[in-house]
Structure 1
Amino acid sequence: MNIFHKTQKKETRRLPMTGKVKKGFRYYCMAVLSLTAIFAMSTTAFAAGDPLTVVNNLSDFIFGFIRAIGLILLGFGIVQVGLSLKSHDPSQRANGFLTLAGGIIIVFAKEILTLITG
């Protein structure tokens, strides 16, 4: 019993399109692409009045991102330490504690930098 007929050859043919239809389709595509490019490139950027506020906002965003990465490492370190306690693997336990310590340092990076700089 042959479910898939591998011997059948399918022919593909292009749809008939006259010269005027091709030309119109080209104009339509160019109009859509042009309007998309115009609307995509004409976004208005509103600047804040104080440049120091912009820098502080950017700094808060970057440190928030770094804190999220630190929390992920912290969670991974906890899981790694837990698995090493279950399997009695000292090298995995050491790596888990190092990952845990690194995650804590990364989470509190902003506070550590403010303590250092004053």
Structure 2
Amino acid sequence: MKLKIKRKRLLALYIMLVLTGTVFVSTAYAEGDPMTTVNNLSTFIFGLIRAIGMIILGFGIVQIGLSLKSHDPSQRANGFLTLAGGIIITFTKEILTLIAG
């Protein structure tokens, strides 16, 4: 019985600490120009896309090399398609910049 009371008191204390932490916390405002934050996020996302594109590009090169070794034309075609896709994904930011002007 005493164990249940201790658990209830600990739960009540925990709830009070959580509510105190959420109610009395000051609001954090963004400092500076909001466009800087958006540009930093854009740069980060395009960096991730470029990394994925480079991985696909490398996989396409490996696939083409394996197809040349095994003389498999369908694997060679898939390798060239993967290579082209990797190039497009790698240079997505530059392509969008050219399209948007």
Tell me the TM-score normalised to structure 2 length.
Answer: 0.77
In structure 1, the gaps of 5 or more residues are 1-18
In structure 2, the gaps of 5 or more residues are none
Query: Residues 21 and 53 of structure 1: is their aligned pair in 2 closer, same or farther, counting only changes over 3 Å?
Result: same
What CA RMSD, in Å, does the superposition of the two structures yield over aligned residues? 2.6
Aligned residue number for residue 5 of structure 2: 23
Deviates more, 1:43-52 or 1:103-112: 43-52
Query: Residues 21 and 112 of structure 1: is their aligned pair in 2 closer, same or farther, counting only changes over 3 Å?
Result: same
How much has 1:44 moved relative to structure 2?
5.5
Q: Percent identity?
A: 66
The question of 1:112 aligning with 2:95 is answered yes
Counterparts of 1:38 and 1:72 in 2: how far apart (Å)?
47
| Bigger proportion of residues as helix | 2
Q: How many residues align?
A: 100
The structure that has the greater radius of gyration is: 1
Q: Which has the higher contact order (CA 8 A, sep 6+)?
A: 2
